[in-house]
Amino acid sequence: MTETRPERVQPTPETIRPWLVERLSHYLDLPAEDIDPDTSLAEYGLDSVYAFALSGEIEDTWGLVVEPTLIWDVDTVVRLTGHISALAADRPSA
């Protein structure tokens, strides 16, 4: 399995987006290059089980608490990247 945990990397759009594409590629069993960042994740068939798993990976990897419904609320890689990046920027520094 591919390592999903960037080591001590500040989450930015440049680090989050490729990570999301790789994780979606895994869940959807699609080549990463076939994932359009502007296409609804529901259109790819991402179901609630994978949305729940992805939200857990976001928490584990980036240290950000997100609800599984976030995946449906923002619904594209571009919007999800922006949301995660904003959450990271808003959290207090350690």
pLDDT digits (tens, 9 = 90+) for 71-81: 889 999 999 99
* Three-class SS state of 11: coil
pLDDT surpasses 50 at 42: yes
> pLDDT tens across 1-33, in order?
455 554 446 789 999 999 999 999 999 999 999
Per-residue confidence band for 58, with pLDDT thresholds at 50, 70 and 90: very high
Options 1.10.10.10, 1.20.1440.120, 3.30.750.200, 1.10.1200.10; CATH of 29-89: 1.10.1200.10
Tell me how many helices (H) and strands (E) the chain has: 4, 0
Cα–Cα distance for residue pair 17/20, rounded to 1 Å: 5
